[in-house]
C-alpha cells in the first residue's frame, strides 16, 4: 500500500494522506492585510485537489511583521472573517487547515514600518538596517504571537505552524549570523533559543493542548559560521518540551546566498532532525515525482512530505500521484470520469 496515501494522526488531527501544501506567500492582500477572494479560490482549489494538509501562507502577527505590504495578517479581529471563510471552505472539501504565524523581522519590506531584529544587521545592501529589539519589544512580539494564537483557535484552524525559518525574526534570533546580542537572548544556543521558547509557551496558553503545534525551521544557513542541521536539532531540543509536536524542515534565508537546489535537497536535513530530536518531521524541497515522495516515507526518512511549486503548477497533483501510486484516494465525484486506473 502507498504510504503517501496512508492516514496520519497527531493529537486530535487525522490527515487523510501525507501530502502537505507548504506555506507560500501570495502577495495578494491590501494594506489592511485581509484575505480576499483570490486567497479563498487558491486554497480551496488545492483542497478539492486532494491535499491532506494545507498550511496557509505566512500570516503576520503584527503590521511590522509583514514581509511585504501585500501579506495576510492576523493582528486584528477585523481580519478573522476572511481567514475563517478560507479555513471553513478547505475543511468542507476534505483538507485539514493550518496557518503559519510569522514575523518578518529585518526582512520587512512594508513601507512606513519600524523594522526590528535581534541585532542591527541588515540582510543586504538593498535592505534597511533594523533596530535592535529592546526587551519591551521582545515582550510585545511574544504577546502578538499569543493574541494571534487566540484568533486561530476562534477561527478553527487544525494546526498552527510557528515560522522559525527563512531568515525572518525567530530565525534571526536562532542564527549566530544575525544574533550578536550579549544579553540572555544571545550567545549560547540555549540563549538564542530563548525567544522562540517564550513564543511557544505564549502560543500554548491560547492554543488548546489537544491540538498540534508545528515549528518550521531553516536547518542549514549555507555559511560555515552559521547553523547546520545538528545545531538546529540542539536548538529544537531546548524548546520542544513547551509543546512542539511536529517540525517542518526547510533551509536558507538568513544569509543572502542561494543554495544549490535539486529534487529532495533538504530531505537529509529532515532525517538528521528527526533522529536527534525524536519529533516527527515534514520533509521537502522541489519534490515533483510521487515515487520520490513515496521513497522518503517508506524509508522512514520523514513522516510527511511538503510540496510547494508542484502544487502551484498543478492544484490536482495529489490526484495525479494517486493514479501513479495507489488508486485508493476518493476523487471529487465531479472529476471521477477523468480517473485513470492502472491495470
CATH number, domain containing residue 114: 3.20.20.70
- Indicate if the pLDDT at residue 342 is higher than 70: no
Domain range for 48 is 8-338
- Indicate if the pLDDT at residue 243 is higher than 60: yes
Q: Please give the average per-residue pLDDT across 68-92, as a whole number.
A: 98
Q: How many domains does the chain have?
A: 1
Sort residue 125 into left (φ over 0), alpha (ψ -120 to 50) or beta. Answer: alpha
Residue 327 is predicted with a pLDDT of 86
Neighbouring residues of 334: CB distance < 8 A, sequence distance ≥ 6: none
Return d(Cα 55, Cα 299) in angstroms, integer.
Answer: 25
Does residue 1 lie within any of the structural domains?
A: no
Residue 343 is predicted with a pLDDT of 52
Kindly report, residue by residue over 90-110, the tens digit of the pLDDT: 999 999 999 999 999 999 999
Q: Are strands 131-132 and 72-73 parallel, antiparallel or unpaired?
A: unpaired
Does residue 3 lie within any of the structural domains?
A: no
Does residue 262 lie within any of the structural domains?
A: yes
- Indicate if the pLDDT at residue 202 is higher than 70: yes
Kindly report, residue by residue over 322-331, the tens digit of the pLDDT: 999 988 888 9
Q: Please give the average per-residue pLDDT across 216-230, as a whole number.
A: 98
The alpha carbon dihedral of 12, 16, 22, 25 has a sign of negative
Kindly report, residue by residue over 22-71, the tens digit of the pLDDT: 999 999 999 999 999 999 999 999 999 999 999 999 999 999 999 999 99
Does residue 260 lie within any of the structural domains?
A: yes
Does residue 2 lie within any of the structural domains?
A: no
Share of the chain above pLDDT 90, in %: 94
CA 26: distance to chain centroid?
14
Q: Please give the average per-residue pLDDT across 161-176, as a whole number.
A: 98
Amino acid at each position: 500500500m502507498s504510504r503517501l496515501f496512508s492516514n496520519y494522526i497527531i493529537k486530535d488531527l487525522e490527515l487523510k494522506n501525507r501530502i502537505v501544501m507548504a506555506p507560500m506567500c501570495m502577495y495578494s492582500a491590501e494594506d489592511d492585510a485581509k484575505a480576499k477572494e483570490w486567497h479563498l479560490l487558491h486554497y480551496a482549489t488545492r483542497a478539492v485537489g486532494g491535499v491532506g494538509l494545507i498550511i496557509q501562507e505566512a500570516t503576520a502577527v503584527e503590521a511590522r511583521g509583514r514581509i511585504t505590504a501585500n501579506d495576510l495578517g492576523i493582528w486584528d479581529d477585523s481580519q478573522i472573517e476572511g481567514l475563517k471563510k478560507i479555513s471553513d471552505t478547505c475543511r468542507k472539501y476534505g483538507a485539514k487547515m493550518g496557518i503559519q504565524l510569522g514575523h518578518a523581522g529585518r526582512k520587512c519590506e512594508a513601507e512606513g514600518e519600524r523594522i526590528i531584529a535581534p541585532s542591527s544587521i541588515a540582510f543586504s545592501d538593498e535592505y534597511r538596517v533594523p533596530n535592535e529589539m529592546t526587551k519591551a519589544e521582545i515582550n510585545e512580539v511574544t504577546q502578538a504571537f499569543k493574541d494571534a494564537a487566540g484568533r486561530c483557535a476562534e477561527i478553527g484552524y487544525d494546526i498552527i505552524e510557528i515560522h522559525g525559518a527563512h531568515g525572518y525574526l525567530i530565525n534571526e534570533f536562532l542564527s549566530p549570523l544575525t544574533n550578536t546580542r550579549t544579553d540572555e537572548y544571545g550567545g549560547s544556543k540555549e540563549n538564542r533559543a530563548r525567544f522562540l521558547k517564550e513564543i511557544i509557551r505564549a502560543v500554548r496558553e491560547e492554543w488548546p493542548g489537544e491540538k498540534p503545534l508545528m515549528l518550521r525551521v531553516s536547518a542549514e544557513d549555507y555559511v560555515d559560521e552559521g547553523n547546520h542541521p545538528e545545531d538546529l536539532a540542539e536548538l529544537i531540543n531546548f524548546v520542544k518540551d513547551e509543546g512542539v509536536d511536529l517540525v517542518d524542515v526547510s533551509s536558507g534565508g538568513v544569509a543572502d546566498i542561494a543554495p544549490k537546489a535539486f529534487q529532495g535537497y533538504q530531505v537529509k536535513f529532515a532525517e538528521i532532525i528527526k533522529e536527534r530530536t525524536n519529533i516527527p518531521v515534514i520533509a521537502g524541497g522541489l519534490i515533483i515525482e510521487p515515487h520520490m515522495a513515496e521513497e522518503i516515507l517508506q524509508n522512514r526518512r520523514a513522516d510527511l512530505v511538503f510540496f510547494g511549486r508542484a502544487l502551484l503548477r498543478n492544484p490536482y497533483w495529489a490526484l495525479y500521484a494517486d493514479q501513479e501510486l495507489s488508486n485508493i484516494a476518493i476523487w471529487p465525484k465531479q472529476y471521477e470520469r477523468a480517473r485513470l486506473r492502472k491495470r
